Structure 1
């Protein structure tokens, strides 16, 4: 009996070690008390950056399709916005393309699903289920009259102590983008050739993840292949609306023609605001996951 308990204890310890170790598609990012707001005005200077495991790549079409297949959401593969360029396969031409057409709700649910598949504690508490729809905003008939239908999305809360996958916060996103503490300290982003880091496709489709150069942390496409969802845990750039806590739903991307003597900080400083998105909007938005490393 004693030997069995020792074996079980060792297995428990190994499981804890495994759960708190980076996977092959992740990089370890050491946190900091650095004032990220000093560099990026969108950030909150009061937030400490935790130690994180960050996905090297954005979630791919192939990975997101596993989620769609699991829950039977395959009708999204028939998605066509206007035909032509804006169809499912044209927007994501390769299995390894960065996935788009992801709602904020799908992004949070995907994080929980991946966490459960890999034995982590889900980070999001989703109060209710939202029936899947390719397009949530639509005209419907009620009592013989046409009304513009907008469903009520379940409230989503973040369990900050969970070790499962989640979306980065605003502070975490820009901290990662700048290359973490060492990247900020070394100012590696001054006068870089942005074409080595960013894929310019006129917003028509996403490239294969990892096609271009990684930043100093080993994170690819952070300058944007697909715009990425951010968990906006701040009141400065937030809003509530009739759908839910839409204040948490922010999509952000650096998209502009290549500029000579490009300076990342100057470029971001010239942008007026973050992009507040409806959490039920299926647009050109993808995702990258992080998880707590402590």
Structure 2
């Protein structure tokens, strides 16, 4: 009897030891999601390494997606689980005494919708002003000065993203790493799937009816007639990190100036030191599928506003 009790005790101790070993693995098997007072839900992305660019030799790839290069992050960062919505941006505008931005464009000739749809018609400057306002609301050091330079925890201009405390736009590398789902994610064409219909809103599925055809059949007239538009955030399947709408819905401003990729390995990159156009990623509701690919890159002058352009938040983890 004593031997049986002893064996039972040994088995129980072994089981408990196994659980203690597995518990940390279980805790970190899925992305950590937290709710911030002003920014809402954000996902913590761990440090890691990945290959950036046209890694799958996609037939639709553009020359600016090469060369493929290795990027390493030595820090963790938070990124918005959803694109910033009209509801959120309107609250900021009212608190700042700003006129509400329109949810339409001369191109569409109809309202594109507010509420929980991603905010659009915002310039890069509008986006970083929003970031700074959130930082101030939570008692953080602003991430940007009046010229768009990054600021460190002491308020000094910096090129070291690990020292930027406040809310900001994701760097282009952060955006692609997060969209891919990290260093161990399965290779997919879009953010979380090879089928854009599963994860994103684009020209064929963002209107009142499905528009048949292929990417070669893209037609602005059909898009307007079908009343294609942005859709409420978080309606499609999330990617491996639990992020929504990284492909399609609204194209997203990134921090970086646009530039050609370097061939050598990069660590904590933030893009060129200067330029004339800022990067945006992910494609949008009126885009064809190739422009919504993980590696696809677009760019506009930072003063430009478009009915396709929105953003999501990022923040270095301290």
Q: TM-score range by the shorter chain?
A: 0.5 to 0.7
- 1:65 maps to which residue? 90
Structure 2 counterparts to residues 219-234 of structure 1, below 5 A:
219-232=243-256
CA distance in 2, matches of 1:232, 1:220: 22
| Displacement over 4 Å in runs of 4+ | 188-191, 237-240, 255-259
Structure 1 counterpart of 2:305, from 255, 274, 282: 282
Structure 2 counterparts to residues 164-243 of structure 1, below 5 A:
164-183=166-185, 186-187=186-187, 192-200=194-202, 201=206, 202=223, 204-232=228-256, 235-236=259-260
Query: Tell me, what secondary structure is at the counterpart of 2:184?
Result: helix
Change in 2 beyond 3 A, CA 1:72/1:86: farther
Which of the two has higher C-alpha Rg?
A: 2
Query: Tell me, what secondary structure is at the counterpart of 1:108?
Result: helix
CA distance in 1, matches of 2:253, 2:283: 13
Structure 1 counterpart of 2:44, from 12, 17, 28: 28
Deviations along 1:246-291, one digit per CA (max 9) or x if unpaired, are: 34x12223355569xxxx8xx556x5xx322011111020000111
Deviations along 1:179-233, one digit per CA (max 9) or x if unpaired, are: 11221xx336597322110113248421100011100100000012100001125
Aligned length: 226
RMSD: 3.2
Deviations along 1:96-135, one digit per CA (max 9) or x if unpaired, are: 0010001000011110101111222211112xxxxxxxxx
TM-score by length of 1: 0.66
Q: Is the CA contact 2:82–2:234 (under 8 Å) kept in the aligned structure 1?
A: yes
Q: Is the CA contact 1:97–1:206 (under 8 Å) kept in the aligned structure 2?
A: yes
- 2:219 maps to which residue? none
CA distance in 1, matches of 2:275, 2:237: 36
- 2:280 maps to which residue? 251
Q: Is the CA contact 1:122–1:164 (under 8 Å) kept in the aligned structure 2?
A: yes
CA distance in 2, matches of 1:174, 1:285: 17
CA distance in 2, matches of 1:113, 1:56: 19
Gaps of 5+ in 1: 1-20, 127-154
Structure 1 counterpart of 2:69, from 21, 39, 45: 45
CA distance in 2, matches of 1:279, 1:231: 10
Query: Tell me, what secondary structure is at the counterpart of 2:94?
Result: helix
Between 48-57 and 34-43, report the one with greater CA deviation. Answer: 34-43
CA distance in 2, matches of 1:48, 1:227: 25
Query: Tell me, what secondary structure is at the counterpart of 1:111?
Result: helix
- 2:148 maps to which residue? 156
Change in 2 beyond 3 A, CA 1:45/1:22: farther
CA distance in 2, matches of 1:61, 1:288: 12
CA distance in 2, matches of 1:192, 1:219: 16
CA distance in 2, matches of 1:246, 1:48: 26
Change in 2 beyond 3 A, CA 1:104/1:86: farther
